[in-house]
């Protein structure tokens, strides 16, 4: 199914407002959805006949300095088509109040570790995630290293790390 | 960290460990354990010999690939990609380079000889990687001889690739727009000799391991991974194919010169037990080695007939002096020996340094299914399951 057809299916189910904007300039077209629509859109993409996006390839969090973007790369094994979903989040830089987005773990279990990684390295809070611990860094690490404004710590447990 | 909300999951996890019943025990397997294939730590909650729960702890080999890639230009990142799955460096850099070339619009201009050389070295590397998977799987289960045989044969491949690139394991051979060097003179002949030597060895290996009754008893009907669970967990590569799904990106995406090459996609058939058990995962890898040998033979034939070495052939003719991209993003995926390796690029305008690179390691996703497969199995079987997943910690932790 082509990008336009996928878009039409989504619009016919959720209405025009579901797609905030689209990005067709690059090599892979992407659909932007609202953060509140994410879980219903994802379930729809996975379960609808003709779409069956059953394979979540990748979740990436990107720091654009003024906002964060979470990118979902989906593909369908039976139909061999792919789609890119993007969600923009406000660029709240405070470590006490991370940007929040609902978890899609209930739809694809792949999301479990990918979301933990995004939480660990980029500081995105996935609400409803069953086990949102840091995955690659130690549990007591401070800050989120992939953020553009991350300041490297001088010491970790009294050991110089710089 | 001030907000307690972000510590909730950690507290819950620690509480869970203290709340186990008296007959249960928390057992650490790794990070220094030969059967975890590197620095992986599995926290097991066990009841006697039975594993109740597996909690993997990662990150012991985290080398900040994503962060490094944000501060280096594309050419300089290639050596870092080599260190992701260090058993299949060629395949990693091939995937990375392919992504950059497609963004540059260079992919259709690459000469056929270069593409065939790339496929040739990638498939040799795939054989080497699968030989490690097969050999170490044998030793996990207690068969020492196949391990030694596999390493002996793999060493021939390492030597050949060292001859081509100058390095034994981490090659930095495939460059954006071309290759480091052309193949050394006589490489094709030596490679053909190796293939002739290797084919009978594969049959020997089959006899000692695949048909071995002890091996079958340890692997058949163990760790059965149904296809729907595999897809839901994002499992890819030989592991997904062992669950009966014919999904190989070399065919699906048809990148490089794979559409011109004839090869089969082996899938798990449950010959010794059920579809998707440990034996199937092992067998798919063995079959893939046979297919890779076929691909190598076809590449050698084309390289010696249609795309011969010429005096004026320059493998670096198309290598850009500076990679100048417009602002865009692109997700490239390729079939690695372990599964779908993906790189997601976000580029900056007029800069040869990307804004963000995310690597999607196949081992990372394949390993996540261990908590599902490891429920209620014997500890000895957990070793068999973990070995059949074939992880490389360099790629899990990145």
Whether B353 maps to a domain, the answer reads: yes
Cα-Cα end-to-end distance for chain A: 50
Does B356 sit within 8 Å of A77, measured CB to CB? no
Does A63 sit within 8 Å of B342, measured CB to CB? no
pLDDT at B2: 63
pLDDT tens by residue, B301-351:
988 888 888 888 888 888 888 888 888 889 999 999 999 999 999 988 888
Whether B27 maps to a domain, the answer reads: no
How many Cβ atoms are within 10 Å of A111's Cβ, its own excluded?
Answer: 24
Whether B1 maps to a domain, the answer reads: no
As a whole number of angstroms, the distance between CA B226 and CA B274 comes to 9
pLDDT tens by residue, A67-91:
899 999 999 988 888 899 999 888 7
A46 part of contact set with chain B, CB < 8 Å: no
Q: Are A37 and A17 in contact (CB under 8 A)?
A: no
pLDDT tens by residue, A143-157:
888 888 888 888 888
Going by the DSSP 8-state scheme, the letter that residue A150 receives in this structure is P
Residues of B with Cβ-Cβ distance to A98 under 8 angstroms? 3, 6
Q: Which of A121, A129, A137 sits opposite B66 (nearest CB)?
A: A121
Q: What is the mean pLDDT of each run of 10 residues along chain B (398 residues)?
A: 78 87 86 78 90 90 89 89 90 92 87 90 92 90 89 92 89 88 89 92 88 88 90 91 90 88 89 87 92 92 86 83 84 91 88 89 91 89 89 88
Q: Which domain holds residue B205?
A: 65-397
For chain A, domains (ranges, CATH) are 3-149 (3.30.460.80)
B interface with A, Cβ–Cβ below 8 Å:
1-3, 5-6, 8-10, 12-13, 58-59, 62, 64, 66-67, 70, 102-103, 231-234, 245, 247, 252, 328-331, 333, 340, 342, 344, 346, 355-356, 358, 360, 364-365, 368, 372, 397-398
Residues of B with Cβ-Cβ distance to A136 under 8 angstroms? 58-59, 62, 397-398
Mean predicted confidence (pLDDT) in A88-114: 87
Total domains in chain B come to 1
pLDDT above 70: residue A137: yes
Residue A54, CA distances (Å) to A49, A76, B336 in order: 11, 5, 21
Query: Is the pLDDT higher at B122 or at A3?
Result: B122
As a whole number of angstroms, the distance between CA A87 and CA B199 comes to 51
Residue B123, CA distances (Å) to A45, A126, A151, B91, B116 in order: 35, 39, 42, 8, 10
Going by the DSSP 8-state scheme, the letter that residue A96 receives in this structure is S
Whether B198 maps to a domain, the answer reads: yes
Domain CATH for B169: 1.10.645.10
Residues of A with Cβ-Cβ distance to B360 under 8 angstroms? 57-58
Residue found by looking up tokens 């990693």 in the block:
B92
- Which of A113, A148, A153, A161 to mutate against chain B (most B CBs within 10 Å)? A113
Residue found by looking up tokens 């050949």 in the block:
B160
Gyration radius (Cα) of chain B, Å: 22
Average pLDDT in chain A: 87
A70 part of contact set with chain B, CB < 8 Å: no
As a whole number of angstroms, the distance between CA B46 and CA B48 comes to 6
With a CB cutoff of 8 Å and minimum separation 6, the contacts of A159 are none
Does A145 sit within 8 Å of B64, measured CB to CB? yes
B31 upstream amide cis, omega within 30 of 0: yes
- Which of A131, A136, A148, A161 to mutate against chain B (most B CBs within 10 Å)? A136
A110 part of contact set with chain B, CB < 8 Å: yes
Whether B33 maps to a domain, the answer reads: no
As a whole number of angstroms, the distance between CA B209 and CA B217 comes to 12
Gyration radius (Cα) of chain A, Å: 17
Residues of A with Cβ-Cβ distance to B59 under 8 angstroms? 134-138
H/E segment holding residue B82: helix B74-82
Q: Are B348 and B140 in contact (CB under 8 A)?
A: no
Q: Quick one: closest CA in A to B367, which residue? A: A113
Residues of B with Cβ-Cβ distance to A88 under 8 angstroms? none
Q: Are B130 and B288 in contact (CB under 8 A)?
A: yes
pLDDT at B314: 82
Whether B30 maps to a domain, the answer reads: no
Does B333 sit within 8 Å of A57, measured CB to CB? yes
Calculate the CA dihedral of residues B68, B72, B73, B74 and round it to 10 degrees: -20
H/E segment holding residue B16: helix B8-18
Angle formed at CA B51 by CA B46 and CA B56, multiple of 5 degrees:
95
Collapsed DSSP state (helix, strand, coil) of residue B212:
coil
Q: Which of A25, A58, A113 sits opposite B344 (nearest CB)?
A: A58
Mean predicted confidence (pLDDT) in A10-24: 82
pLDDT at A117: 92
Query: What HEC string does B30-58 produce?
Result: CCCEHHHCECCEEEEEEECCEEEEEEEEC
Where are the extended beta strands (E) located within chain B? 24-29, 41-47, 50-57, 174-175, 178-179, 329-335, 340-346, 356-360
Of A84, A79, A6, the residue nearest B252 (C-alpha): A79
And the tokens for A143?
A: 């800050």
Whether B101 maps to a domain, the answer reads: yes
- For chain B, give the number of residues: 398
Q: Are A75 and A131 in contact (CB under 8 A)?
A: no
Whether B15 maps to a domain, the answer reads: no
């Amino acid at each position: 199914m082509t990008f336009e057809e996928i878009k039409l299916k989504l619009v016919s189910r959720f209405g025009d407002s579901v797609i905030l904007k689209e990005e067709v300039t690059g090599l892979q077209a992407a659909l932007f959805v609202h953060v509140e629509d994410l879980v219903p859109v994802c379930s729809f993409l996975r379960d609808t006949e003709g779409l069956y996006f059953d394979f979540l390839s990748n979740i990436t969090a990107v720091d654009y300095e003024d906002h964060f973007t979470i990118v979902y790369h989906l593909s369908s094994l039976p139909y061999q088509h792919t789609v890119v979903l993007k969600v923009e989040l406000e660029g709240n830089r405070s470590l006490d109040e991370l940007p929040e987005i609902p978890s899609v773990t209930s739809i694809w279990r792949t999301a479990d570790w990918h979301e933990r990684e995004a939480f660990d390295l980029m500081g995105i809070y996935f609400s409803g995630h069953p086990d949102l611990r840091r995955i690659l860094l130690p549990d007591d690490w401070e800050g989120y290293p992939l953020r553009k404004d991350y300041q490297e710590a001088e010491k970790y447990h009294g050991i110089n790390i710089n | 960290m001030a907000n307690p909300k972000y510590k909730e999951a950690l507290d819950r996890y620690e509480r869970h460990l203290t709340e186990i019943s008296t007959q249960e025990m928390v057992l650490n397997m790794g990070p220094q354990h030969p059967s975890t294939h590197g620095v992986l730590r599995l926290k097991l909650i066990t009841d006697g010999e039975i594993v109740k729960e597996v909690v993997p702890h990662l990150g012991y080999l985290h080398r900040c690939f994503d962060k490094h890639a944000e501060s280096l230009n594309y050419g300089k990142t290639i050596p870092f990609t080599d260190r992701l799955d260090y058993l299949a460096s060629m395949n990693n850099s091939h995937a990375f380079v392919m992504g950059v070339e497609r963004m540059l619009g260079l992919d259709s201009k690459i000469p056929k000889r270069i593409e065939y050389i790339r496929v040739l070295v990638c498939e040799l590397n795939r054989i080497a990687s699968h030989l490690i998977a097969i050999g170490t799987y044998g030793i996990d289960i207690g068969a020492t001889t196949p391990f030694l045989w596999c390493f002996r044969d793999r060493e021939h491949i390492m030597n050949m690739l060292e001859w081509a690139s100058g390095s034994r394991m981490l090659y930095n051979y495939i460059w954006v727009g071309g290759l480091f060097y052309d193949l050394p003179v006589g490489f094709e002949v030596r490679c053909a000799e190796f293939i002739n030597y290797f084919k009978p060895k594969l049959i020997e290996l089959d006899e000692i391991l695949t048909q071995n009754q002890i091996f079958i008893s340890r692997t058949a009907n163990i760790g059965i991974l149904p296809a729907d669970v595999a897809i839901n967990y994002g499992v890819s590569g030989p592991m997904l194919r062992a669950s009966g799904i014919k999904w190989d990106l070399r065919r699906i995406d048809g990148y490089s010169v794979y559409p011109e090459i004839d090869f089969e996609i082996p899938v798990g058939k449950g010959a010794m037990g059920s579809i998707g058990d440990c034996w199937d995962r092992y067998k798919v890898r063995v079959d893939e080695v046979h297919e890779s040998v076929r691909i190598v033979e076809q590449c050698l034939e084309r390289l010696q007939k249609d795309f011969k070495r010429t005096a004026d052939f320059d493998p670096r003719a198309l290598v850009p002096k500076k990679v100048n991209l417009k602002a865009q993003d692109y997700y490239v995926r390729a079939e690695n020996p372990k599964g779908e390796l993906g790189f997601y690029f976000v580029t900056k305008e007029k800069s040869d340094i990307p804004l963000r690179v995310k690597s999607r390691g196949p081992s990372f996703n394949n390993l996540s299914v261990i908590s599902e497969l490891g429920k209620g199995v014997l500890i000895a079987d957990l070793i068999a399951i973990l070995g059949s997943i074939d992880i490389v910690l360099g790629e899990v932790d990145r």
